[in-house]
Amino acid sequence: LNLRNSFGNLFRITTWGESHGPAMGVVIDGCPAGLELSEVDLLALLKRRAPGTSLDVSPRREPDHPQILSGLYKGRTTGAPLSILIENVDAQSNAYQSWEGKHRPGHASYTYLEKYGIYDPRGGGRASARETVCRVAAGAVANKFINENGIKIETSLIQVGLERNPNNFSSYLQTIQQKGDSVGGLVSCRVRGMPIGLGEPIYLKLEAQLASALLSIPATKGFEIGEGFASVEMKGSEHNDFLIDKGSFASNHAGGLLGGISNAETLFFRVPFKPTASIKKIQKTTTYLGEQTELPISEKGRHDPCTAVRGAVVVEAMTALVLADFLLLSRTTRL
Amino acid sequence: LNLRNSFGNLFRITTWGESHGPAMGVVIDGCPAGLELSEVDLLALLKRRAPGTSLDVSPRREPDHPQILSGLYKGRTTGAPLSILIENVDAQSNAYQSWEGKHRPGHASYTYLEKYGIYDPRGGGRASARETVCRVAAGAVANKFINENGIKIETSLIQVGLERNPNNFSSYLQTIQQKGDSVGGLVSCRVRGMPIGLGEPIYLKLEAQLASALLSIPATKGFEIGEGFASVEMKGSEHNDFLIDKGSFASNHAGGLLGGISNAETLFFRVPFKPTASIKKIQKTTTYLGEQTELPISEKGRHDPCTAVRGAVVVEAMTALVLADFLLLSRTTRL
Amino acid sequence: LNLRNSFGNLFRITTWGESHGPAMGVVIDGCPAGLELSEVDLLALLKRRAPGTSLDVSPRREPDHPQILSGLYKGRTTGAPLSILIENVDAQSNAYQSWEGKHRPGHASYTYLEKYGIYDPRGGGRASARETVCRVAAGAVANKFINENGIKIETSLIQVGLERNPNNFSSYLQTIQQKGDSVGGLVSCRVRGMPIGLGEPIYLKLEAQLASALLSIPATKGFEIGEGFASVEMKGSEHNDFLIDKGSFASNHAGGLLGGISNAETLFFRVPFKPTASIKKIQKTTTYLGEQTELPISEKGRHDPCTAVRGAVVVEAMTALVLADFLLLSRTTRL
Amino acid sequence: LNLRNSFGNLFRITTWGESHGPAMGVVIDGCPAGLELSEVDLLALLKRRAPGTSLDVSPRREPDHPQILSGLYKGRTTGAPLSILIENVDAQSNAYQSWEGKHRPGHASYTYLEKYGIYDPRGGGRASARETVCRVAAGAVANKFINENGIKIETSLIQVGLERNPNNFSSYLQTIQQKGDSVGGLVSCRVRGMPIGLGEPIYLKLEAQLASALLSIPATKGFEIGEGFASVEMKGSEHNDFLIDKGSFASNHAGGLLGGISNAETLFFRVPFKPTASIKKIQKTTTYLGEQTELPISEKGRHDPCTAVRGAVVVEAMTALVLADFLLLSRTTRL
C-alpha cells in the first residue's frame, strides 16, 4: 500500500505539507491501541533530524515542536488515527525568488511541472526534504512500538564524499561548504533484537519493502543488504551461511534474512545519498520556457553540505515504520 | 499494493505455485482492454528465462508453454483478468530427498518453517526461483503494452564473479560449475523511450517501486540507480545535471528521474545477484531439529552456476510491470 | 483492497475466468498456514451452488470439481497462495448465438462494450454469474477457517416473488418458469458464534465491508442489517438496545454490531436479488449498432427462474470471506 | 483501499480526530492537479451539515471553518495531498460526565472497549458522528471535480419516522424531541449527468463501493439501488429494462447501472438511518464493570432528534467521493 503519500500496510502513514506552507503533518493509522505516547517521545528523533543544530547542516531553524492532535486518551494510543502536526516557522520564501522561473539542477521542478502542469517552487514545495520531518515523527512512534518488542535500530554515517574517518567528517564538510559545494554520503544501518519471521513473501519481502522505504527518501540512490554488491564477486561456498543454533548463523553474509523473511540475525544494510543538489556555485540551467541561462550564486538559501548527515535519522525512521508494519503482519500468518 | 503474492497497483499481478507442484500461474488484473495478445507473445521472454538452454544454466528442462485461460476475446484483451498457467513437467522431487530434514545453507527453509510452522521442501516450494516464470509471463504482457507506448527495456549481464568480459562468461562459469561452486552476477538495465511523468511521489517514486520490484526477485541483494553508490564520492557541482532541451539532460547522472518522476532521459540501474545457494560442495548445516550435520554432495539437483544469467530477463519483466503500472497511474494526475 | 477482481485485505481472493472459457479460477492469498484442507472441503458448498440440481434452477450441468493447484503440503495450508481451478465443461456457446449483436435486457453487454470497447458475449463472459463458483470455492476455505474459530453462518431464502412460504417455493417457481418468466428473491443470513471485535472503523466497518461484498454479487440490489429499512419508523427508545451481560443484548435490533464492530450477538442481514434477467419471453431491445429490434424467444439458453435460489450460498461464501479477513485484522489492533 | 480510516483508491481520503479533541481533519490524496479550490468551496456543504442551524438538529454550535493547509498553489490544486483541518470549538466534555463508566445504549462504547482495551468516552470519541465533518469537507472537493465533469448529485430526506410529507417534518421532529425521544429517517439520492463506464467489476462495482461508502456513515442500516428490495416481488419481464438510445433506458429500474458499471441513466438509491441513539429518556444499561443500572435523564447533551436530517449531506459527500474515484479509475481501462 505504498501509494503516493501513504506508506505501509497495517501500520500506515499518510504525510502532507509543503516546505513553505503553514505546516507539515502525518496521520498514522493502525498504531496498536495501548501504547504509552506523548509529544516528548518524538523529540529525540526530531532533534537528530533538525536543521540548524551544527555547522554541518542547514542553518534554517525550525523548532519542530510536534502536536499530537488525535488518537490519544489518558496518555495511551486508542487505536484511532494519530494526527501529528509540525508548524513551519522559519520558512523564508523570498530567499528563493532569485531562481524563480529557472530549473535548479538536481531538483524536481522540471518533472513536477511536466507531470502536474503546476509546481509550487517555494522551497521545493512537496518535493522538499522538509517532508521527512513527518517520517521522523511517525518513525518515532513506530520505534517506540518495536522497542517494546525488543528491536533496536542503529544508523551511522560511514562515509562522506571521499572521507571514511568519522572524526574528520566535520572539518571535511566545512571545507566543502566553504567552496559552495556539497558531497554525497553513505549511511549504514544495523537492527538488533530482530525476531524470526518478519517479511511477507513473495512481493512484500523484508528487503523489498525496506528498499522501497529507503529509495523514497529524497537524495537516496541505492540500497544494499548483507554483502550487497560485493556478493557479485563471492563464491557460493563462501557466501552461503549455515545455521549454528536457533537464530544464530555462521557469517550472516545475507544480512539478517533468508527468502525475504528475517532470520533473527542482525539486519544490516547501506544507503547511498547523492550530494545535495542545492549548492552556491554558478550552474548552467534552462528557464521554465526552455531558454538556456545560468543560476546565480545563492546567497540566502540555507542547505546542508551533505544530506546524509541528517538522512541517517530518516533511514532509521523509515526502517522503524517497515518493521512495525511487519510485526503486525506477522501475527496473521498462522491459524 | 505490493502485498504478499500480488505486485502492482493498476496493472497488478498475483502469482501462485510451488516448484514441484502441478503448475505455476499468474493472474494479471488491470491490463487495459484492446491489447492484441496470444501465447506467442509470451514465448520470447520465457525462452530467455528457460532452464536447460545452455551450458551455463540449470539442466532442468521445462517446456514452459503458457496457456492463457481467460481475459481474451478474438485475440484481444477485454479488461477482464488474464490467467496464465504454466505446467511443471520436469519436477523431480526425489532428487531432493537426500537433504530432507536438513536446512540447506542460503535457502529459506529455516525462516519459512519458523514463520509458517510448515514448509514444502520439494524444490524450495514457494521460495523457489521457479516462481519467476510467472513474473516473466506477466512481464511479457506488460512489455507489449509499454512497447506500444514507445518504451523499450534492455538488460545485460555485465559481471559474473570476478569476470567483467562478456566473451569470457561462458568458459568462466563452466570452470565454476565443474568445481561444484557458484558465483554472483551483476545485471544492468537501460530503458529508452521513457515518457516524462512516470512515478508517483512521495512513497511511490519510480525508483522506490523499481527497488521493491527488483529486491523481490530471489537472490538479489541490492539496487542502484544512476550513479548509485558512486554518487557518495561525487561533488554536487559534478553530479548536478542540467536540462539542455525538453527531456534531454547534460549528464543523466540521476539515471532518468528527478524527485521520483521520470524525466524522459534513459532510465538506468543495476542489480547484484548473490551466488547461487545450491552448490555441490560439502557444507556444514543443521537439521530441522537443530543438530549440527553436513550436507552431502548433491549428485542430482540441477542448478545454475550463476542465477544472474537467467535473472536478467526477470529484471526486465519486473521493470516492465512497474512501468505499465505507472503508465496507467500517470493518466490520473491531472484534471 | 476490493479492487476490480480482488476482494479482501489479509484474507484476499482474486478471481478470473469467463462463463464460456476453458475454466474459472480463484487465487486465495493470506489463508493462515496450518489449516487442514482438501478438495473435499469445497464440495458441499459448491454442490449447493451447482446448476442442474433441481427443477428450480438452470439445467446447465457442471460437475464443478475443484482442483487445488498450490498452497498445500501434506494436507495443510502452507501460507502460500491457494490456486483453485474449476473447468467449464458444459458451456454451450452456440446456444447464445441467436442474440449475437443485440443487447439482452438486464444484461451488462452495453456497459461493458462502452467501458472496454470490447465484450465477450458468450454466456455473459466475465459478467456471468458463473464467476460466483470461484467465490463459493474460496468461501468454503474461509468458512473452514472461521468454523474453527466457532463462527457459523446460516443463510435461507425467505421470499420468492410474492411467495413467503418456503414450502410453496418450488411449485411457485415452476409456474414462473413455464411462463418463460422469472422473479426476484430475498436471502436472509444469520451468523452465530461471533466474537466481539470484528470490524475496523471508520471505513472498514463490518457492515460496510459486508455491504460491499454482497452488492458485488450479480443481481443483488440492496442490503440491510438488523432492523434495516424498518428502523426508519422506529423510535430511539424502542430501537436502542442495552447490554445485559457480556456479549448479550436485550433486543439485538442493531443486528450484531455497534459502531462498525461486532458485539458477539448474532449478526443478521438480508439481501434482495432482482429477477433473473435471462427469460424466454419476447423483449424489446436494440442492436449493438443502436437499431431497435426484438429479442427472439430463447429456446436453448439455460437459466434460473430465480437467482436467489442459488444466490443464498454465494451470500454465505462472501460473508465467510469477510469474516475470515476481519478475524485476521482483529489480531493487529492491540499492543 | 477502504482500510480503517482511509476511503477510496485513486481519489483517497484519510480522516482523523475525536469529537472532543482539539480538531478534526482529513487528508485528500490523489485529487487531480489543476482544480481551482479555496476554503470557500467547502462552506456550502459544511453549512448544510452544521449543527445548531435549526430546531431540528443538535444545538452544539461549531463554526466549522475549514483550513486548507497544503496542496494548493495560486488557488489551484498541485497534485500534492490536501490537508484540511477543522477546529473543535464548542466541545463540552463535562456535559457527558454523568454517564461516565456506563454504556450508553446504541453507542459504541462496549465494542470499542472490548476491541481496543481503551475508549475515549468524550462525545463518543472517534465513533462520534462529528467525524462526518471531514467527509463533508472532502466530499465538497470531490463534488467540485465531478461537477466539472457534468455530474450532479441531489439528496433529499423522504421520510422521518412515520412521516412522509416533507412539509410536516419540522413540526413532527419537534414533537419527538420534546418527548426526549428520536426517530429514524430515509435519505434518497439521485445523480444526474452520469457518464457511461463508472464502476470496476467484479469486486469494485459501482453499487458495491457506494454501499460500502454509505454503510460506513454512522447510523445507516442499509442501502438499496434502483428498485432495491421491491425488485424481489417483480417479474423479470417487468424489471428488465431495454436500451432506447445511447445512455437512455426504458424504465431505469436498475437505478443507473448494469453489471456494476454506470449506464448514463440517473443513478438512484436510498439509505435508511436508524433513530438517534442519544435520547433524554431514562434507559436501562450496564456499567463498564457489567453491573446493571440506569442511564439518568440527559440534561445537557445536545443531539439531533433525527440523524438523517444532517445525514443527507453526508450521503452526498460520500457519493461524490465514490464518483470522483471512479472517474479517475475509468481513465485506465483502455489502451
β-bridge pairing B267-273 and B222-225: antiparallel
Q: Work out whether strand C261-262 and strand D261-262 pair parallel, antiparallel, or are unpaired.
A: unpaired
Cβ–Cβ below 8 Å for D333 and C115 = yes
Of the pLDDT bands very low, low, confident and very high (cuts 50, 70, 90), residue A260 is very high
- Which 8-state DSSP code applies to residue A60? -
pLDDT value at position B100?
A: 82
Average pLDDT over residues A265-287: 94
**A259 DSSP assignment:** T
* Length of chain C measured in residues: 335
Percent pLDDT > 70 in chain A is 94
Mean pLDDT of A110-130: 93
- Separation between Cα atoms, residue A109 and residue A111, nearest integer Å: 6
Nine-digit cell string for D268:
438512484
Residues D71/D81, Cβ–Cβ less than 8 Å: yes
Q: The dihedral of CA B115, B120, B126, B128: what is its sign? A: positive
Whole-prediction pTM value? 0.97
The string of pLDDT tens digits covering residues A202-231 is: 999 999 999 999 999 999 999 999 999 999
Chains linked to B by 3 or more Cβ pairs within 8 Å: A, C, D
Q: What pLDDT sits at residue A297?
A: 65
Cβ count near C165 (within 10 Å)? 10
What span, in angstroms and rounded, lies between the C-alpha atoms of B201 and C220? 39
Q: Strand order of the sheet with strand B23-29? A: B6-7, B12-16, B23-29, B82-87, B66-68
Q: Are D176 and D299 in contact (CB under 8 A)?
A: no
* Chain-centre distance for alpha carbon B277: 17
Q: pLDDT at position B58, please?
A: 65
- Three-class SS string for B157-171? EEEECCECCHHHHHH
pLDDT at residue A265, as a whole number: 97
Q: Measure in Å the smallest separation between the Cα of A142 and chain B Cα atoms.
A: 17
Burial category of A72 from C-beta neighbours within 10 Å (exposed 0-12, middle 13-18, buried 19 and up): buried
Of D34, D334, D335, the CB nearest to B335: D34
Q: Give the integer Cα–Cα distance in Å for C26 and C8.
A: 13
**pLDDT (tens digit per residue) in D95-127:** 556 778 899 899 999 999 999 999 998 888 999
Look up residue A126 and give its three cell numbers: 512537496
pLDDT of residue D265: 97
Cα distances (Å, whole numbers) of residue D154 to A199, D64, D133, D265: 47, 22, 19, 14
Q: Maximum CA pair distance of chain D?
A: 65
Report DSSP letters for C30-91, one per residue. -PPBT-B--THHHHHHHHHH-TTSSTTS--------EEE-SSEETTEE-SSPEEEEEE--S-
- Percent of chain D at pLDDT above 70? 94
More confident site: B55 or C36: C36
- How far is residue C309's CA from residue C56's CA, in Å, rounded to a whole number? 8
This model of the complex carries an ipTM of: 0.96
Q: How far apart are CA A165 and CA C116, in angstroms?
A: 61
Q: What Rg value do the Cα atoms of chain D yield, rounded?
A: 21
**Mean of pLDDT over chain A:** 93
Least Cα separation, residue C186 to chain D (angstroms): 6
The radius of gyration computed from the CA coordinates of chain A, to the nearest angstrom, equals 21
Check C126 against B1: CB less than 8 A apart: no
pLDDT at D235 over 80: yes
Do D267 and D196 touch, CB atoms closer than 8 A? no
Residues of chain A with Cβ-Cβ distance to C329 below 8 Å are 332
Q: What is the largest CA-CA distance in chain C?
A: 65
**Cβ–Cβ of B16/C115 closer than 8 Å?**
no
Least confident range of A235-249, C148-162, C248-262, D289-303: D289-303
CB D264 within 8 A of CB D94: no
Comparing CB atoms, the residue among D112, D176, D185 nearest residue C259 is D112
| Neighboring chains of A (3 or more beta-carbon pairs < 8 A) | B, C, D
Say if residue D284's pLDDT is above 60.
yes
* CB < 8 Å to B7, chain A: 203
Sign for the pseudo-dihedral over CA of A255, A261, A266, A268: positive
Let me know: does A32 contact A21? Beta carbons within 8 Å.
no
Section D228-245 average pLDDT: 95
Mean pLDDT of chain D: 93
- Decide: helix, strand or coil at residue B152: strand
- Lowest average pLDDT, out of C16-30, C256-270, D10-24, D276-290, goes to D276-290
> C302 pLDDT band (50/70/90 cuts)?
low
Could you tell me which of B36, B13, B298 has the C-alpha nearest to residue B132? B13
**Does A53 have pLDDT greater than 60?**
no
Kindly indicate the confidence band of residue C52, based on its pLDDT and cuts at 50, 70 and 90. low
Amino acid A258: pLDDT: 97
CA–CA distance, D250 with D240 (Å, rounded to integer):
9
Residue range D160-209, pLDDT digits in tens: 999 999 999 999 999 999 999 999 999 999 999 999 999 999 999 999 99
H or E element in which residue A141 lies: helix A132-147
| CA D1 remoteness from chain centre | 18
The predicted model gives C243-269 an average pLDDT of 95
Nearest 5°: phi and psi at D308? -65, -25
Reported in sequence order, the residue ranges of B168-301 that DSSP labels E, i.e. its strands, are 185-192, 222-225, 243-245, 248-249, 257-258, 261-262, 267-273, 283-286, 292-295
Render pLDDT for C182-216 as a digit per residue (tens, 0 to 9): 999 999 999 999 999 999 999 999 999 999 999 99
Q: CA-to-CA distance for C163 and A11, rounded, in angstroms?
A: 50
Q: Is D269 helix (H, G, I), strand (E, B) or coil?
A: strand
Residue A200 in grid coordinates: 511477507
Residue C102 has pLDDT above 70, yes or no: yes
Q: Give Cβ neighbours of residue B330 (< 8 Å, ≥ 6 apart).
A: A115, B195, B197, B198
Q: How many CB pairs under 8 A join B and D?
A: 41
Chain A residue with minimal CA distance to C1?
A1
d(CA C292, CA C289): 9
Considering only CA atoms, which of A256, A212, A28, A242 is closest in space to residue A136?
A28
State the pLDDT at residue D52: 62
Could you tell me the pLDDT band of residue C301, with boundaries at 50, 70 and 90?
Answer: low
Q: Tell me which of C212, C214, C280 to substitute to probe the interface with D (most D C-beta atoms closer than 10 Å).
A: C212
**Residues paired with C200 in a beta bridge:** C204
Alpha-carbon Rg of chain C, whole angstroms? Answer: 21
Rounded to an integer, what distance in angstroms lies between the CA atom of residue B234 and that of residue A191? Answer: 28
> Is residue A308 within 8 Å of residue A273, measured between CB atoms?
yes
User: Which of the residues in chain B have pLDDT under 50?
Assistant: none
Q: Quickly state the pLDDT bin for A33 (edges 50, 70, 90).
A: very high
- How many Å lie between the alpha carbon of D334 and the closest alpha carbon of chain A? 21
DSSP category for residue D213? H
Whether A249 contacts A243, CB under 8 Å: yes
DSSP string, B262-276: EBSSPEEEEEEEPPP
- As to burial, measured by CB atoms within 10 angstroms (0-12 exposed, 13-18 middle, 19+ buried), residue C335 is middle
Check residue D169 and give its pLDDT: 96
Cα Rg, chain B, nearest whole Å = 21
Say yes or no for a CB contact (<8 Å) between D148 and B34: no
- Looking at residue A50, what is its pLDDT? 85
Q: Which pLDDT value is given to residue B124?
A: 86
User: Does the pLDDT at position D55 exceed 80?
Assistant: no
One-letter identity of residue A102: K
Q: Which residues contact D194 (CB under 8 A, 6 or more apart)?
A: D151, D256, D262, D264, D265, D266, D267
